[in-house]
């Protein structure tokens, strides 16, 4: 019987984590999810980046 163990257990190679980006609905720039802010005051909810959220205050 083949006692071969699978070397690629998952820890060795990490697939490139795809950064989730959102398009700011105001400046239309792609921003990472962390920088996105959803403004519930607007309907439908407006999703903008941090910078825009600041300016909209
Ligand atoms: Zn923006």
Q: Where are the domains of the chain?
A: 21-55
| CA–centroid distance, residue 16 to ligand 1 (Å) | 26
Helix, strand, or coil (residue 3)? coil
CA of 40 from ligand 1 middle (Å) equals 16
Cα 23 → chain centroid: 10
**According to the model, what pLDDT value does residue 31 have?**
95
Distance separating alpha carbons of residues 43 and 25, to the nearest angstrom: 13
pTM over 0.85: no
Phi, psi of 35 (to 5 degrees): -95, 5
What kind and span of H or E run contains 50?
helix 50-55
- Ligand 1 centroid – CA 15 distance (Å): 29
- What backbone torsions phi and psi does residue 34 show, to the nearest 5 degrees? -60, -30
Tokens of 19: 């950064």
Q: Tens of pLDDT along the chain (57 residues)? A: 666 666 665 566 777 778 889 999 999 999 999 999 999 998 999 999 999 999 987
Protein residues within 5 Å, CB atom, of ion ligand 1: 24, 26-27, 48-49, 52
């Amino acid at each position: 019987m083949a006692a071969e163990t699978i070397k690629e257990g998952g820890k060795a190679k990490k697939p490139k984590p795809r950064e989730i980006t959102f398009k700011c609905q105001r400046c239309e720039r792609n921003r990472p999810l962390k920088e996105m802010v959803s403004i519930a005051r607007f309907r439908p909810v407006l999703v903008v980046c941090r910078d825009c959220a600041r300016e909209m205050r």
